[in-house]
Amino acid sequence: MAMILVLGLGAADLAKALVAVSRAQSAADAAALAAAQELALPSGREPSDAAAEYASLNGGELVECRCEAGTLEATVQVRVPVGYLSTLGGERNVEAQARAIVDPGG
């Protein structure tokens, strides 16, 4: 019985972690695209502010944004909470990175 419980908790933790990894990548992709768009078509906002907003809208927190003015490339790192994992104990986070490059010719 105990083995079934441990396997069940492990499977639930794995599922939570996989969902968080997917959410983190989605948040990073959205953040990188938002920053790159701001670099290509400036609206007066900082590209990192746009990246942080889109990371947040997708359940993440912007950790880093390399999006220098005058370039058409943005690289971001985003953190998303996994939540409490029974088998590992405690709260966990996952991080994802994404890069977006604007093609000035198309």
pLDDT tens-place string over residues 58-103: 999 999 999 998 899 999 999 999 887 766 677 889 999 999 999 8
Q: Is 85 left (phi over 0), alpha (psi -120 to 50) or beta?
A: beta
Provide the whole-model pTM. 0.86
Q: Tell me what pLDDT residue 87 has.
A: 66
Cα–Cα distance, 35 to 54 (Å, whole number): 9
Give me the percent of the chain exceeding a pLDDT of 90: 64
What tokens appear for 87 in the block? 């088998």
* pLDDT tens digits, one per residue of 7-53: 777 777 778 888 999 999 999 999 999 999 999 999 999 999 999 99
Where in the chain are the domains?
A: 2-101
Q: Is 74 exposed, middle or buried (0-12, 13-18, 19+ CB in 10 A)?
A: buried
